[in-house]
Structure 1
Amino acid sequence: MKTTYNKKPTLSSQDIRHYNWYIWRSVIALFVLVAIMFTLTIFDVFGQLPSFRDLENPKSNLASEVISSDKQVLGTYYVQNRSNVTYKELSPNVINALIATEDKRFYDHSGIDFGRSFTIFLHLLIGQKQGGSTITQQLAKNLFTEKSNNPFVRITQKLQEWITAVKLERHYTKQEILTMYLNKVDFGAYNTYGIKSAARTYFNTTPDKLTPDQAALLIGMVNGPGIYSPIRHPKNAINRRNLVLNRMAEQGSLSEGQAAELKQKPLGLDFHLNTHIDGPAPYFRSVLKKEVQKIFKEQNLNRPDGTPYDLDRDGLKIYTTIDATMQQYAEEAQLEYMKNLQVQFNDHWRGQNLAKSIHNFKFLVNQGMLKSDRYKQLKAQGLDDEDIKTNFNTPDTVNLFTWHGNIDTLMKPIDSIVYSKMLLRNALMSMDPTTGYVKAWVGGTNFEHFKYDQVKNGTRQVGSTAKPFTYAVAIDNGYSPCMKINNVPDTIRGYGDPWCPRSSPSETLPGFITLRQALAHSQNWVTAHVMSEVKPEPVVELIKKMGITSAVPPYPSICLGTFDASVFEMTAAYSVFANHGLWTEPTYILRIEDKNGNVLYTHTPKVVQAMNPQTAYVMTYMLKGVIEEGTGARLGYKYGLHNPIGGKTGTTQNNSDGWFIGITPQLVTGLWTGCEDRDIAFQSTRLGEGANSALPIFAIYMKKVYANPALGIKKTVDFDAPKNGVSIVLDCGQYTQQQQGTNEVDKKLDF
């Protein structure tokens, strides 16, 4: 049987030329199409390309940084938590990891890697995703386009990115492109953008200190900050990190042995979630933000295009006087003592009916409910007051502040209001009396739960801390601290109703005592007698010169501190005593710079000669008496501070407020302690007095400060006498002899 085979058809030379023509025509058509699309893209048909000015100033939401006097970042204001770095601030490990993973031919191309770009283009045509953009293209995409899910729109965007990438390469160096990319990229973790924020968030370090494995982990997150998150998906993060380490070894930035060793390491996270309230000095930063916004408005400081600066987006740098170390010591001192003081407070109220024992208690709790976030949220949901009341009396899980950390507990929300009302609050400010520079600012006990700043915004009755103002007027009129006055009631008339202060029998020094003793032991009757001699008006005038802005009526009772003032004002006022009579405006902003380092604002503090230098010096001698023998003596016998320190305790009516203001030649520190509402207070002066509720925090703080020589606050420094000397006698033995001599002369003259 004969087998036949089908012969393959042969192509004639004419057929081959025919097919070649179709192929070339398709290639030419594709080339023309690409050329046309490029041309249309260049002429902004598919959307406007960034201009040269845009390339020079790419828009990016940059966090503004609050910087301490010792160059620490205290915190940031941001919409996106992003802070820029320069190339010099980047570890080589970061650069090597990025190039090895994202664009190994980065230094060899001019923005586009043509070896793979057209394969990406073809994949886009058929609707498939394909990675492989160069670092410069990724930067162009991140800076200037929002990625579309439509494949045809995405093709035009890719063309725009190519053209923009070429422009970027022409206008920036390779180092600048790498830096811009690393400053822009998203690292997940609750609004963390840029390598600087990422290094701080995941490893609590700076970009220049990132190790190879840390850099590999962060760079591994670039293409998938969610799926490669070391917090949510640690296994994915380790696998991705190890892949980056392998590629670094392939590129030669690590040896095979180094990569193998690093791949065995755990993630080694030191995770710090960055929010607006995290970090030191949150109360200060809250006040500072409003102050900066006020400065910009009052001085009409705007961006170059005339629009207002935005602290949350413009990457400003705010240089402050706060010392990060002293701020830490102040916050630690507050925590250390207040948790113990709260125990004292709770113990002495335990078992009592608060509604019966505390004036207006039900009203205060109701007001607390009306001001709470929970009430506002329920009201916004349309609930009426009866339903809201039911909600507040129904047990629920609530988050409470405690001095040992926040806790979630099941309780009635109305009981959480009572709990908050019975929490003690505290505020501290510390400043250099000569420069006015504020060194530490603790505006409250917990910013997350209690956002009201008590340093500058809060005013409370100042109590006996006002007494030195009256004595200062007397000293200025020639009185000596050694002058003796009989410590008996002295009724003052001529200012409305006759007025005579009370004095606790157990705390009253009998007989004739010196002015220094009277101030040291906070004696009301002698102070009232001095007020009757010098009159209220000069005292008010001095108080105003010393920076107290709240209302101070010219009545005799102001000698006992019946007016209100803030910790900010009182600390600055006491700095006059330590600064030769000069009141220097408290300064906490040094300067403000834009993202490029241009100075937008520099602060110049006001200076006022509030009192005679001699008077100021004599008052430091008077205030030393408070510490050496008076109400502040526990600074010495309990805390071992025997160096030159002056100060004054203060306790207001019903123990609502406890104050202590301490002065040294280099540092003045004011403290206040009390509850949110004045009707809630210690029931005994022994516990509620400033010597117990405020002074110990000063002592703990100062011991920490003195123990750190780098801060330059020395125990050996004493208050300087005036250049012209002191004519007022401070030696009470000499003063007594002079008085006796004067009396003998008077007797002879009388004879």
Structure 2
Amino acid sequence: MAKTKAKKETKNIQDFSKYIRWFWILFMGGIFSIVLMFLMASWGVFGEIPDHTQLENLKSNLATEIISSDGKTLGKFYFNDNRTPVSYDDLSPHLVNALISTEDVRFHEHAGIDARGTLRAAIFLGRKGGASTISQQLAKLFFTKKASGNFVKRIIQKMKEWVIAIRLERQYTKEEIIAQYFNIYDFGNNGDGIRSASRIYFNKEPKDLEVKEAAMLVGMCVNSSFYNPIPSRNPVGVKNRRNVVLSQMEKSGHINEVVKDSLQKTELDLDFTPQSHRDGIATYFRGYLSGFMKDWIKKNPKPDGTKWSLYNDGLKIYTTIDSRMQKHAEDAVQQHMPRLQAEFFHQNTPERNPTAPFLELTRGAIDTLMLRSMRRGKRWNHLKYDLKKSNKEIEASFYEPIQMTVFEWKDGKPSEKDTIMKPIDSMRYYKSFLRPGMMSMNPQTGHVKAWVGGMNYRHFQYDMVKQGKRQIGSTFKPLVYATAIDQLHKSPCDEYPDTPYCIEANKHGNPDPWCPKNSNGDSDYGGKRTLKNALANSVNTITARLIDEVGPQTVVDLAKKLGIESEVLPVPAIALGVPEISVYEMVGAYSTFANKGVYTKPVMVTSIEDKNGTILYQFTPETNDVLSEETAYVTVKLMEGVTQSGSGVRLRTKGADAYRADFREVVTGYPYEFTNPIAGKTGTTQNQSDGWFMGMVPNLVTGVWVGGEERSIHFRTTKYGQGAAMALPIWGIYMKSCYADKDLNISKEAFEEPANLSINVDCSKVKNKTITDDGSDEIPDDLDF
């Protein structure tokens, strides 16, 4: 019996040993399998694993950043990824604390894999939280795709993440991993990376984010689509998720309970600032810059011979635009244009003008114009070349009502409205809007400080600074006067008879006699005028006398030296501004007068860098001595007369209320009251189709144009249609804002008088003058044609 019992015990021991042996075999086999799986994952058996070189150069698409002269981001160029990387030092500590508290509380203790978190996740099957560390999440964002399908695939993906996470921890510091994570994450609404996200949702740099702002952004990291505050599909969920992050920060000791409770009661307080190619500041300038960069990229390949990508290579473009002055310029346009537009609509109701918005056109001419506009548009090209529609089908489609969103001025601000409209009617609707163009430049450096090519880039994309060219009216006259001063040593105090004047046929290439008239006809003649008075009041006949004396070709030659590349024919009529020239060219030309006769080509880009800060391009100033310092100064003194007693005198006047409550402008009152020296010139083309004002102080030259898309779209009279009413107010509002911004240092000083000035510019010392130049309180009509 004892023997049988002993045998039984021996067998039990053997069986137990067998179990122990199998346990260790299975255990070691499991360990070996796991190690083997890790090794196989690291060898790339389950798919490509990044090597040392790839990990050292983590790549993501980086947007090209456009930077203003005062260090602000004007906008970016990107296709899908609006991403601009930041360093760890550029992150708010609240962001770092929120991320670690919520996503990886032992981030500083592990080497890529959190063993405790992994074990907890395995035991509780993820019910008490996952185990992905920040390093693993970064690995997933950069190198692995979300596994779909069975459990095995998900295990393989997780192993790859573990391997990559460990390698990332060996390659980078903890701080670099945090920065990389924030830079790569997509926060939605073009918020690729933390820099874009913080600017889009809170209009701040990442380092300036407060606790609750950082908590909301970190809360989005679990699912930026579901926890997206814009559009607010889940407002309660977004706020609740933010509050969870705040609770985690309190648990981790980064904030106390009082702060947590207080912040959890607050709203999100977003400052949503969308970033797209058609939104934000300086949109028209950015449109120009896109073309500039594409030309530069064609001519400047990478060191390896490949092309730079404007949208993915993370270039930095340093521009001359000052974000503060750009904002002042855009605000000036948005203050003036809705008021002017309200008056235009008032004058062009169907009852007052059956052909609105056109004037002087027959129905047939309007139909022809509209058909021509149809065929130039994107809609026509899409239907014809993409959808292969016939011309007849395309024309018919323009008369079928469709749903659309159109531009409108609402309560004096740009807005949009949803409506149902025929495309042909929407074309006519858009043609009824007056358009602005404005550019401001430092004449000494050539740096362009502000560029407003229109009033709303989403709906009016044609740039009226450089693309658009319009007749310039009397703003061309100073070039005629400057030629006379340069060639004939004329003085502002020289007198000319104020009488009708004709240039005979076959002189200066003119086949017929040319007899320009002043705006008020024969009643406008009598006595004599000084050149200063004649320019101030834009007297056509005296300008005609001057171009007859110097010859049109001489004026054309000067125009070319002043940077005007548009065609200017050597005919007498150029004296009254018939050439079509851009705002860009005119500002460059006028800057020569303010810069003592030296033409400086306008500069928009100072340098371009790659993502590592290597300089790829640096501009070289282009200058040309065009006029003597004396000639330039005398021309400036002539133009000062325009704002002292001529069509620009309203810059000096006081108006108690410049605008009526219905936003329609009262041109008899302008609240500018400038007292400093200002040189300038208004311009109004025939039938009031174009209104111009060119204004200069010693360190800033600004040109403004306002008009319709078609020359047949204009005011009936000069009361509203002259340059002093259409364009000058924008200049006045802009300059008042610039002067109020003391950091800009816009000059109020007099233009510097050259040494050894031999031409008399003080007409008060001239005896027996027929017409004085001290002006009067009355605001004259602009006499431009």
The TM-score, its normalising length taken from structure 2, stands at: 0.88
- The alignment yields a C-alpha RMSD, in angstroms, of 2.5
Post-superposition shift, 1:215? 1.3
Q: How does 1:676-687 map to 2 (within 5 A)?
A: 676-687=709-720
Aligned to 1:743: none
Aligned to 1:447: 457
Q: Does 1:666 align with 2:666?
A: no
Residues 702 and 738 (structure 1), Cα distance of their counterparts in 2 relative to 1, 3 Å cut: closer
Post-superposition shift, 1:40? 2.6
Residue-by-residue CA offset, 1:349-397 (whole Å, 9 max, x unaligned):
2222217842632222223333444445554445544444444333333
Residue-by-residue CA offset, 1:428-455 (whole Å, 9 max, x unaligned):
0011111111111101121000111110
Residues 377 and 551 (structure 1), Cα distance of their counterparts in 2 relative to 1, 3 Å cut: closer
Q: Does 1:634 align with 2:639?
A: no
Q: How does 1:170-185 map to 2 (within 5 A)?
A: 170-185=170-185
Q: Does 1:483 align with 2:494?
A: yes
Residues 11 and 97 (structure 1), Cα distance of their counterparts in 2 relative to 1, 3 Å cut: farther
Kindly indicate whether the alpha-carbon contact (under 8 Å) linking 2:330 and 2:452 is maintained by their aligned counterparts in 1: yes
Work out the CA distance in 2 between the residues paired with 1:241 and 1:229.
11
For residue 369 of structure 2, the aligned residue among 353, 364, 373 is: 364
Q: Identity across aligned pairs (percent)?
A: 45
**Range moving further from structure 2, 551-560 or 562-571:** 551-560
Aligned to 1:6: none
Work out the CA distance in 1 between the residues paired with 2:294 and 2:382.
28
Residue-by-residue CA offset, 1:594-615 (whole Å, 9 max, x unaligned):
2222222111220111111100
Match for 2:564: what amino acid? Answer: I
Q: Does 1:583 align with 2:599?
A: yes
SS at match of 2:408: coil
Residues 47 and 225 (structure 1), Cα distance of their counterparts in 2 relative to 1, 3 Å cut: same
Q: Does 1:528 align with 2:539?
A: no
Aligned to 1:429: 439
Aligned to 1:496: 510
Work out the CA distance in 1 between the residues paired with 2:710 and 2:116.
72
Work out the CA distance in 2 between the residues paired with 1:481 and 1:261.
71
Post-superposition shift, 1:52? 2.6
Aligned to 1:166: 166
Aligned residues: 725
Residue-by-residue CA offset, 1:643-666 (whole Å, 9 max, x unaligned):
100101111222221111001101
Kindly indicate whether the alpha-carbon contact (under 8 Å) linking 1:729 and 1:735 is maintained by their aligned counterparts in 2: no
Kindly indicate whether the alpha-carbon contact (under 8 Å) linking 1:508 and 1:523 is maintained by their aligned counterparts in 2: no
Kindly indicate whether the alpha-carbon contact (under 8 Å) linking 2:360 and 2:712 is maintained by their aligned counterparts in 1: no
Work out the CA distance in 2 between the residues paired with 1:459 and 1:356.
21
Work out the CA distance in 2 between the residues paired with 1:523 and 1:738.
17
Aligned to 1:398: 404
Aligned to 1:31: 31
Aligned to 1:460: 470
Post-superposition shift, 1:305? 4.5
Aligned to 1:625: 641
Work out the CA distance in 2 between the residues paired with 1:399 and 1:651.
34
SS at match of 2:108: helix
SS at match of 1:193: coil
Work out the CA distance in 2 between the residues paired with 1:310 and 1:711.
35
Post-superposition shift, 1:121? 7.9
Work out the CA distance in 2 between the residues paired with 1:362 and 1:502.
33
Match for 2:526: what amino acid? Answer: P
Aligned to 1:198: 197
Aligned to 1:157: 157
Work out the CA distance in 2 between the residues paired with 1:650 and 1:714.
24
Q: How does 1:251-290 map to 2 (within 5 A)?
A: 251-290=252-291
SS at match of 2:405: strand
Work out the CA distance in 1 between the residues paired with 2:637 and 2:283.
36
Kindly indicate whether the alpha-carbon contact (under 8 Å) linking 1:83 and 1:315 is maintained by their aligned counterparts in 2: yes
Kindly indicate whether the alpha-carbon contact (under 8 Å) linking 1:398 and 1:416 is maintained by their aligned counterparts in 2: no
Aligned to 1:721: 753
Q: Does 1:701 align with 2:734?
A: yes
Q: How does 1:219-238 map to 2 (within 5 A)?
A: 219-230=218-229, 231-238=232-239
Kindly indicate whether the alpha-carbon contact (under 8 Å) linking 2:325 and 2:738 is maintained by their aligned counterparts in 1: yes
Work out the CA distance in 2 between the residues paired with 1:53 and 1:582.
53
Residue-by-residue CA offset, 1:622-644 (whole Å, 9 max, x unaligned):
00011111111111123312310
Aligned to 2:570: 554
Kindly indicate whether the alpha-carbon contact (under 8 Å) linking 2:215 and 2:242 is maintained by their aligned counterparts in 1: yes
**Range moving further from structure 2, 343-352 or 646-655:** 343-352
Work out the CA distance in 2 between the residues paired with 1:35 and 1:139.
23
Residues 738 and 143 (structure 1), Cα distance of their counterparts in 2 relative to 1, 3 Å cut: same
Aligned to 1:138: 137
Post-superposition shift, 1:287? 0.6
Residue-by-residue CA offset, 1:122-164 (whole Å, 9 max, x unaligned):
999xx99983211011111111222231443443333332222
Match for 1:45: what amino acid? Answer: V
Aligned to 1:748: none
Match for 1:714: what amino acid? Answer: S
Kindly indicate whether the alpha-carbon contact (under 8 Å) linking 1:337 and 1:697 is maintained by their aligned counterparts in 2: yes
Work out the CA distance in 1 between the residues paired with 2:553 and 2:392.
53
Aligned to 2:617: 601
Aligned to 2:56: 56
Residue-by-residue CA offset, 1:73-100 (whole Å, 9 max, x unaligned):
1111122122222212211111111001
Kindly indicate whether the alpha-carbon contact (under 8 Å) linking 1:503 and 1:523 is maintained by their aligned counterparts in 2: yes
SS at match of 2:652: helix
**Range moving further from structure 2, 527-536 or 254-263:** 254-263
Q: How does 1:233-382 map to 2 (within 5 A)?
A: 233-298=234-299, 300-302=300-302, 305-350=304-349, 351=351, 352-354=353-355, 357-358=360-361, 360-379=365-384, 380-381=386-387
Structure 2 unaligned blocks of 5 or more? 1-8, 654-669, 771-785
Residue-by-residue CA offset, 1:306-361 (whole Å, 9 max, x unaligned):
42222221222211111111111111111111111112222222222217842632
Work out the CA distance in 2 between the residues paired with 1:69 and 1:285.
14
Work out the CA distance in 1 between the residues paired with 2:238 and 2:10.
58
Work out the CA distance in 2 between the residues paired with 1:373 and 1:289.
19
Residue-by-residue CA offset, 1:435-480 (whole Å, 9 max, x unaligned):
1111111011210001111101111111111111111111012111
Kindly indicate whether the alpha-carbon contact (under 8 Å) linking 1:660 and 1:694 is maintained by their aligned counterparts in 2: yes
Match for 1:693: what amino acid? Answer: M
The TM-score, its normalising length taken from structure 1, stands at: 0.92
Work out the CA distance in 2 between the residues paired with 1:451 and 1:173.
47
SS at match of 2:451: strand
Residue-by-residue CA offset, 1:165-205 (whole Å, 9 max, x unaligned):
222212211111101111111212x2312122221222222
Aligned to 1:505: 520
Structure 1 unaligned blocks of 5 or more? 1-8, 740-751
Work out the CA distance in 2 between the residues paired with 1:191 and 1:227.
15
Q: How does 1:15-30 map to 2 (within 5 A)?
A: 15-30=15-30
Aligned to 1:711: 744
Kindly indicate whether the alpha-carbon contact (under 8 Å) linking 1:467 and 1:527 is maintained by their aligned counterparts in 2: yes
Residue-by-residue CA offset, 1:183-234 (whole Å, 9 max, x unaligned):
111212x231212222122222221222222211111110111222232211
Work out the CA distance in 1 between the residues paired with 2:158 and 2:375.
55
Kindly indicate whether the alpha-carbon contact (under 8 Å) linking 1:656 and 1:680 is maintained by their aligned counterparts in 2: yes
Q: How does 1:380-419 map to 2 (within 5 A)?
A: 380-381=386-387, 383-404=389-410, 405-419=415-429
Residues 315 and 201 (structure 1), Cα distance of their counterparts in 2 relative to 1, 3 Å cut: same
Residues 262 and 496 (structure 1), Cα distance of their counterparts in 2 relative to 1, 3 Å cut: closer
Kindly indicate whether the alpha-carbon contact (under 8 Å) linking 1:335 and 1:403 is maintained by their aligned counterparts in 2: no
